[in-house]
Structure 1
Amino acid sequence: MPRNSFENYPMSWRPTLKNGTGPLYIRLATQLENDIAHGVLRPGTKLPPQRELADFLDINISTVSRAFKICSQKGLLSGTVGSGTYVAYDICTNIFATSTFSKPHLIELGSMMPETIPQDEVVSLFQKMLTEPDFGKLFQYSHGIADWQREAAAKLMERVGCPVPADQVLTASGGQNSIAAIFAGLFQPGDRLGVDPLVYPGLKSAAKLFGIQLVPIQQENGEMSEAGLRYAVKNDGIRGIYVMPDCQNPTTHTMTAGCREMIARVARERNLIVIEDGINSLLLEEKRKAIYADAPEKTIFLLSLSKTVNPALRLAYLAVPKRYYQEVDNALYNINLSQSSLLLELASRLIVSGQVDALLERRRKGLLLRNQITDQVLSHYDVLGDSTSLSRWLRLPYGITGTEFEHIALEHGVFVYGSERFTVGKDAPAGAARLAICAPDSIKALEHGLLILTGLLNSL
Structure 2
Amino acid sequence: MYAVQLAIVVTRETKASGAGTLEEKTMSINSFDNYQLTWRPDKRALKRPVYVALVTAMKDAIEKGELLPGTKLPPQRELADFLDVNLSTITKAYKLSEERGLTFGVVGKGTFVAQNATESIIIAKTASADVIDLGLVSAFDACNKMMVPVIQAVAGQSNLPELLNYDAPTGLPAHKRAGRMYLERFGITDVKDENMAIVSGGQNAVTVTLLGLFRPGDRIAVDFFTYANFIEIAKMARLKLVPILGDDEGMLADDLAAAASQGLAGVYLMPEGANPTGVRISGARREALAQVVRDNNLILIEDDYEGFLKLGLTPLPKMYTLAPEHCVYLCSMTKPLAVGLRIAYIVFAPQYRSQLMDALMNINMKTSAIDSEFVARAIIDGTAQRISQAKINLVEQSNAAFDEIFPEPEASAVDNRQLFRWVEIHDTGMTGREVEQHGLNNGLRFYHSDRFLVGAESAKKYIRVSLSSASTMNELTTGLTRLRQLLIAGGYYG
Distance 2:325 2:230 in 1: 23
For residues 320-368 of structure 1, give each alpha carbon's deviation from its aligned partner in whole angstroms, at most 9, with x where no partner exists.
1000012111210112264211111121122222221111011111111
Where does residue 112 of structure 1 map in the other structure?
137
User: In structure 2, which of residues 265, 277, 285 is the aligned counterpart of residue 251 of structure 1?
Assistant: 277
**Cα contact 2:186–2:307 (8 A) shared by 1:** yes
Matched, 1:288 2:316: yes
For residues 261-286 of structure 1, give each alpha carbon's deviation from its aligned partner in whole angstroms, at most 9, with x where no partner exists.
11111111110000000000011132
Distance 2:109 2:189 in 1: 41
Where does residue 445 of structure 1 map in the other structure?
475
| Residues 418 and 58 of structure 1, relative CA distance in 2, 3 Å threshold | same
Where does residue 219 of structure 1 map in the other structure?
246
Q: Higher mean Cα deviation, 381-390 or 289-298? A: 381-390
Matched, 1:14 2:35: no
For residues 434-455 of structure 1, give each alpha carbon's deviation from its aligned partner in whole angstroms, at most 9, with x where no partner exists.
1112112222222222122111
Distance 2:474 2:381 in 1: 35
For residues 151-188 of structure 1, give each alpha carbon's deviation from its aligned partner in whole angstroms, at most 9, with x where no partner exists.
32122222223335132211110111111111111111
Distance 2:235 2:344 in 1: 22
Distance 1:365 1:104 in 2: 27
For residues 400-454 of structure 1, give each alpha carbon's deviation from its aligned partner in whole angstroms, at most 9, with x where no partner exists.
6644432221211111110000001323352101111211222222222212211
The amino acid of 1:146's aligned partner reads L
* Deviation of the 1:12 alpha carbon: 2.5
Q: Higher mean Cα deviation, 216-225 or 426-435? A: 216-225
Distance 1:283 1:359 in 2: 11
Distance 1:357 1:20 in 2: 60
**Cα contact 2:121–2:229 (8 A) shared by 1:** no
* Deviation of the 1:226 alpha carbon: 2.0
Distance 2:44 2:478 in 1: 54
The amino acid of 1:457's aligned partner reads L
Where does residue 413 of structure 1 map in the other structure?
443
Where does residue 47 of structure 1 map in the other structure?
73
* Deviation of the 1:81 alpha carbon: 4.2
User: In structure 2, which of residues 107, 113, 117 is the aligned counterpart of residue 87 of structure 1?
Assistant: 113
User: In structure 2, which of residues 194, 212, 216 is the aligned counterpart of residue 185 of structure 1?
Assistant: 212
| Residues 232 and 88 of structure 1, relative CA distance in 2, 3 Å threshold | same
Where does residue 348 of structure 1 map in the other structure?
376
User: In structure 2, which of residues 184, 188, 191 is the aligned counterpart of residue 158 of structure 1?
Assistant: 184
Q: Secondary structure at the match of 1:293?
A: helix
Q: Secondary structure at the match of 1:289?
A: coil
User: In structure 2, which of residues 426, 432, 440 is the aligned counterpart of residue 397 of structure 1?
Assistant: 426
Distance 2:122 2:219 in 1: 29
Q: Higher mean Cα deviation, 273-282 or 180-189? A: 180-189
Distance 1:51 1:455 in 2: 51
User: In structure 1, which of residues 316, 323, 331 is the aligned counterpart of residue 344 of structure 2?
Assistant: 316
**Cα contact 1:89–1:428 (8 A) shared by 2:** no
**Cα contact 1:154–1:166 (8 A) shared by 2:** no
For residues 36-80 of structure 1, give each alpha carbon's deviation from its aligned partner in whole angstroms, at most 9, with x where no partner exists.
112222211221222221112211122212322332222111124
User: In structure 2, which of residues 432, 435, 457 is the aligned counterpart of residue 427 of structure 1?
Assistant: 457
1:295-310 maps to which residues of 2 (within 5 A)?
295-310=323-338
Distance 2:342 2:115 in 1: 31
Where does residue 147 of structure 1 map in the other structure?
173
Distance 2:433 2:388 in 1: 34
* Deviation of the 1:203 alpha carbon: 0.3
Q: Secondary structure at the match of 1:382?
A: helix
Distance 1:58 1:305 in 2: 55
Distance 1:430 1:126 in 2: 46
Matched, 1:174 2:201: yes
TM-score by length of 1: 0.93
Which structure's residues are more often strand, by fraction?
2
**Cα contact 1:90–1:422 (8 A) shared by 2:** no
Q: Secondary structure at the match of 1:249?
A: coil
Q: Higher mean Cα deviation, 180-189 or 10-19? A: 10-19
* Deviation of the 1:97 alpha carbon: 9.4
**Cα contact 1:241–1:275 (8 A) shared by 2:** yes
User: In structure 1, which of residues 135, 141, 144 is the aligned counterpart of residue 160 of structure 2?
Assistant: 135
**Cα contact 1:77–1:87 (8 A) shared by 2:** yes
Q: Higher mean Cα deviation, 320-329 or 349-358? A: 349-358
The amino acid of 1:275's aligned partner reads I
Matched, 1:200 2:227: yes
Distance 2:321 2:189 in 1: 6
Distance 2:473 2:276 in 1: 22
**Cα contact 2:294–2:326 (8 A) shared by 1:** yes
Matched, 1:336 2:361: no
**Cα contact 1:44–1:88 (8 A) shared by 2:** yes
**Alpha carbon RMSD of aligned pairs, Å?**
2.4
The amino acid of 2:486's aligned partner reads L
Could you tell me the percent identity over the aligned residues?
32
**Cα contact 2:121–2:232 (8 A) shared by 1:** no
Matched, 1:273 2:299: yes
Where does residue 417 of structure 2 map in the other structure?
388
Matched, 1:75 2:101: yes
Distance 1:405 1:96 in 2: 17
User: In structure 2, which of residues 220, 227, 236 is the aligned counterpart of residue 209 of structure 1?
Assistant: 236
Structure 2, unpaired ranges of 5+ = 6-27
For residues 7-36 of structure 1, give each alpha carbon's deviation from its aligned partner in whole angstroms, at most 9, with x where no partner exists.
454532232322454432232212211111
| Residues 184 and 375 of structure 1, relative CA distance in 2, 3 Å threshold | same
Distance 2:247 2:123 in 1: 34
Distance 1:252 1:131 in 2: 41
| Residues 117 and 17 of structure 1, relative CA distance in 2, 3 Å threshold | same
The amino acid of 2:216's aligned partner reads P
